[in-house]
Structure 1
Amino acid sequence: MAGYILKRILYMIPTLLAISIVAFTIINLPPGDYVDRLVIEAKNRGESMTPEAIDGLRQLYGLNKPIVEQYVSWMSGIVLRGDFGISYKWNLPVWALLGERLGLTVALSVATLLFIWTVAIPIGVLSAVRQYSVWDYVFTFISFVGLAIPNFLLALGLMYISFKYFGQSVGSLLSPEYLDAPWSLAKVLDLLSHLWVPMTVLGAAGTAELVRTLRANLLDEIKKPYVATARTKGMPEVWMLIKYPLRHALNPFVSSQNEIFVNLVSGGTIVSVVLGLQTIGPLLLDAFRSQDMFLAGSSILILGALAVIGTMLSDIMLAWLDPRIRFN
């Protein structure tokens, strides 16, 4: 297992390199650049910029260089100095903008993943062992509703409930008085009190999907001969269910966690915009709009790294769960 983990870590290097190349290429595909956007904004204000000023800005931002040279300069700064470049729009180091947002993004994603596991596993098991019961029909209906409702619509509804009935500030992961405050126990508790809305919104579809997956897998396992053999030996029903069929039914459940984690990390941008969350998603969207290529490229690279790490952890969990799986 140690060799497999080391090999996967080494595979992450060319994977992240490929992600960075694709991201930097896509960012530079649209016509124009950040300076062209500045020129357009100046025209909209009734101002004009001379060709000399435009050329000076391109030279200042390094946009007069070939795209390959720009990419090499950006990646060498990341690899050699940990420097992700300077944001054109904010005129700040990219890492200064992404640092705290990265922590909040990971915290929200992990909290949502734990929420999905906590809700999906018991409901999936109950639906399987009580097939065609009232609870099975109720949870099946709720699962379909969870898959059908758009995340942003659910976000708006929970924001209204949170403000109307709980008097909680909405539209952020933190209360206004803690936005610029240093981290403390009070700030952590405030963050936890705000996590339930985005956690529920982002976890709704994933929970509904995994409930159906676990139910189907468990129904297939409990009909196999080894389960009947365990029952004839007098093994208690709950212990038998946990030790044998549930453990086997969790294999596809665990293997799908990489996809769930990727969706949580990179697919919650619209929800983050609607809820006003201080995660990487809204900043990435703003970087695309302003063609701030270093900020956009660094955001995609970091999100890609989180997705690759999530996939590796999912594979390790699968190998730990099922001793039959061996990586050679």
Structure 2
Amino acid sequence: MLGFITNRMISMVFTIWAVSFIAFAIIQLPPGDYLTTYVAQLSADGDRVDPAAIQALRDQYGFGEPYLVQYWKWTVGLLHGDFGRSFEWKAPVSELIWGRLGNSILLEGLAVIVMWLVALPIGIYAAVRKYSLGDYLATIGGFLGLAIPNFFFALILMYLSFIWFGETIGGLFSPQYQNAHWSFGRIVDFASHAWAPILVLSMAGTAELIRILRANLLDELKKPYVTTARAKGLSEFRTIMKYPVRVALNPLVSTIGWLLPALVSSSVIVSVVLNLPTAGPLLLRSLTSQDMYLAGAIILLLGILTVIGTLISDLLLAWIDPRIRFGSK
């Protein structure tokens, strides 16, 4: 196992480098650059564009340099903890992303916890009580969760909250706690606002996990080792939980690697609808304006999350499934 982890750590370094290289290249694929977008915006507003000033900015930001030179300067800065400077926001990238990325990780992490807490008991019950009323309700709920887009569910919640309670849901904090330090009052205020985005973000994932767990557990319950366990006198609870459930969890555990990045990308529209200060809208805006250092930093951090999540998935799979042992003969 130690050798496996060491090899994975080494491969993670090369994977993260490849992600940074490809992401930086993709951001620059559209014609033009940030100054092209900036000039077009000035022209649309009717402002005069000074070619000399634009050329000076182009020289200052190094837009005329080859791609490899720009990428090399960016990666050297990354090794020193410098993510570059945002062209649009006129501020260091690190100051822009850490707060929003922290909000994203907190929201998506809580959404993942809600997914598992809800999906596990419902999926197990639906498989064990196949074709019961609870199974049918879980199936209908799963289909609705997969069919309704997250942003549409957010709009429904906003409408119902305003009609029934006369309140609008949105944001993560009240104005008095927006820039305050963490305290018990700020945690309570966060909980009173965060339930809506957590519910919206976890809906589709919960429905998907329920369907996957139900299908896998139904397949495992038909296998001979379950019949043998029952014949030996094991209780029904131990027979189901000790072996079939552990095996049925494999596909769910393997999704940890891409679950957080997928939640971040899927929460872009939800964050816009609910006015959430997360990384999603910032990434979308940086891509549309070709703010390459800001977009590249966010994509790189999402890639790091994916690589770390994949490693965690592999280690959990080896732990919950005795048939998987890295390095065994």
Which bracket does the TM-score occupy, shorter chain normalised?
A: over 0.9
- State whether residues 170 and 193 of structure 2, in contact with CA within 8 Å, keep that contact through their aligned partners in structure 1: no
Identity %: 52
Partner of 1:25: 25
Where in structure 2 are the equivalents of 1:1-328 lying within 5 Å?
1-79=1-79, 81-165=80-164, 169-328=168-327
Cα shift at 1:169: 4.9
- State whether residues 283 and 294 of structure 2, in contact with CA within 8 Å, keep that contact through their aligned partners in structure 1: yes
- State whether residues 150 and 200 of structure 2, in contact with CA within 8 Å, keep that contact through their aligned partners in structure 1: yes
Cα shift at 1:167: 5.7
Cα distance change, pair 166–321 in 1 and its aligned pair in 2 (3 A): farther
- State whether residues 272 and 279 of structure 1, in contact with CA within 8 Å, keep that contact through their aligned partners in structure 2: yes
Question: What is the rounded CA distance, in whole Å, between the counterparts of 1:194 and 1:310 in structure 2?
Answer: 27
Q: Can you list the C-alpha shifts for 1:22-66, whole angstroms capped at 9, x where unaligned?
A: 111111111111112222222223222232211101112221222
Q: Can you list the C-alpha shifts for 1:158-217, whole angstroms capped at 9, x where unaligned?
A: 223344445655221222222222222222222222222111111111111111111111
TM-score normalized with structure 1 length: 0.95
Cα distance change, pair 17–167 in 1 and its aligned pair in 2 (3 A): farther
Q: Can you list the C-alpha shifts for 1:104-145, whole angstroms capped at 9, x where unaligned?
A: 111111111111101111011111111111111111011011
- State whether residues 28 and 292 of structure 2, in contact with CA within 8 Å, keep that contact through their aligned partners in structure 1: yes
Task: Report how many residues are paired.
Answer: 327
- State whether residues 266 and 303 of structure 1, in contact with CA within 8 Å, keep that contact through their aligned partners in structure 2: no
| Secondary structure at the counterpart of residue 90 of structure 1 | coil
- State whether residues 265 and 306 of structure 1, in contact with CA within 8 Å, keep that contact through their aligned partners in structure 2: no
TM-score normalized with structure 2 length: 0.94
Equivalent position amino acid for 1:228 in 2: T
Q: Can you list the C-alpha shifts for 1:225-269, whole angstroms capped at 9, x where unaligned?
A: 221222122211112211121111111221233333331133321
Equivalent position amino acid for 2:23 in 1: A
Question: What is the rounded CA distance, in whole Å, between the counterparts of 1:184 and 1:168 in structure 2?
Answer: 24
Question: What is the rounded CA distance, in whole Å, between the counterparts of 2:251 and 2:237 in structure 1?
Answer: 21
Question: What is the rounded CA distance, in whole Å, between the counterparts of 1:290 and 1:97 in structure 2?
Answer: 16
- State whether residues 169 and 175 of structure 1, in contact with CA within 8 Å, keep that contact through their aligned partners in structure 2: no
Q: Which runs of 5+ in 1 are unaligned?
A: none
